[in-house]
């Protein structure tokens, strides 16, 4: 399984013939190094409706024929743009050709840039091959993140930007609860209010928790 950090909260997961994207915000991201045209996923998973997460979903899905997997409200709104989707909701799991998806709670908000209601914001556990990835979405720290550890997380993607989500101190606490083998910080540096020292965060996680943390630059990958 290859996990490529595409910048902000966007990741590309590749395993065997499968390619799955989560929150592909690329063309509007000043730090992104990957063009949406270079991606051909079968599925795009969205944690919530905010513009910095839906990003290039419609363009990518229309070109590659990808199915969007997200909250029912997000899928219904994207259907109006001609995108196919599977609507789910928090706490639910479903099986796909690439593996299993489980949506988990996140403390945040969710509306499209035009104000359309986007349902509940969520985190997501993705089982791909024998690797389990947790993308926390945009969230505050909350104690029920400890329940996600029951999935046996290999890689946890946690926001550290502060301002819109938890910051580094709370993300360190989240890492303690998630007990993942690997931790990758996301949702930082893209815009001035969320500039953070991701390397310092990664060092603290590696020293103070049982997880090994990796501050990946956009375009960098982790192979598991």
Instruction: Report in angstroms how near the CB of residue 108 gets to Mn ion at its nearest.
Output: 8
Q: Which does 23 bind (CB under 5 to 8 A by kind): Ni ion, Mn ion, none?
A: none
As to burial, measured by CB atoms within 10 angstroms (0-12 exposed, 13-18 middle, 19+ buried), residue 60 is buried
Cβ burial 192-223 (10 Å sphere, 16+ → b, else e): eebebebeebbebbbeebebebbbbebeeebe
Instruction: Report in angstroms how near the CB of residue 15 gets to Mn ion at its nearest.
Output: 26
Task: Check binding of 23 to Mn ion (CB under 5 A).
Answer: no
Of 15-23, 32-40, 46-54, 199-207, which segment contacts Ni ion by CB under 5 A? 46-54
Q: Site map for Mn ion, 124-143, x if CB under 5 A?
A: --------------x-----
Of the pair 5, 98, the CB lying nearest Ni ion is at: 5
Task: Check binding of 23 to Ni ion (CB under 5 A).
Answer: no
Of the pair 138, 189, the CB lying nearest Ni ion is at: 138
Query: How many residues in the shown chain lie near Mn ion by CB under 5 A?
Result: 2
Task: Check binding of 52 to Mn ion (CB under 5 A).
Answer: yes
Of 68-76, 95-103, 132-140, 202-210, which segment contacts Ni ion by CB under 5 A? 132-140
- From CA 140, how far away is CA 64, in angstroms rounded? 33
Of the pair 25, 201, the CB lying nearest Mn ion is at: 25
Closest to 166 in 3D by CA, of 201, 118, 209, 217: 201
Instruction: Report in angstroms how near the CB of residue 164 gets to Mn ion at its nearest.
Output: 6
Task: Check binding of 50 to Ni ion (CB under 5 A).
Answer: yes
Of the pair 48, 214, the CB lying nearest Ni ion is at: 48
Q: Which two tokens stand for residue 213?
A: 């943390």
Of the pair 77, 187, the CB lying nearest Mn ion is at: 187
Residue ranges that bind Mn ion, judged by CB under 5 A: 52, 138
């Amino acid at each position: 399984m290859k996990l490529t950090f595409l910048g902000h909260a966007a990741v590309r997961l590749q395993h065997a013939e499968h390619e799955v994207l989560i929150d592909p915000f690329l063309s509007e991201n000043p730090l992104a190094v990957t063009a949406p045209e270079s991606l051909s996923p079968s599925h795009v998973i969205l944690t919530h409706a905010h513009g910095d997460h839906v990003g290039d979903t419609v363009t990518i899905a229309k070109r590659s024929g990808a199915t969007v997997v997200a909250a029912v409200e997000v899928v219904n709104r994207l259907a109006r743009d001609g995108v196919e989707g599977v609507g789910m909701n928090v706490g639910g799991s479903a099986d796909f050709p690439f593996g299993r998806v489980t949506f988990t709670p996140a403390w945040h908000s969710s509306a499209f840039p035009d104000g359309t209601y986007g349902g509940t914001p969520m985190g997501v556990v993705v089982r791909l091959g024998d690797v389990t990835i947790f993308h926390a979405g945009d969230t505050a720290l909350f104690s029920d993140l400890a329940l996600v550890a029951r999935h046996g997380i290999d890689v946890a993607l946690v926001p550290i930007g502060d301002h819109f989500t938890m910051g580094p101190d709370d993300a360190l606490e989240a890492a303690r609860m998630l007990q993942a083998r690997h931790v990758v910080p996301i949702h930082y540096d893209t815009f001035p209010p969320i500039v953070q020292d991701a390397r310092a965060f990664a060092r603290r996680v590696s020293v103070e928790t049982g997880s090994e943390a990796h501050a990946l630059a956009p375009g960098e990958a982790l192979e598991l």
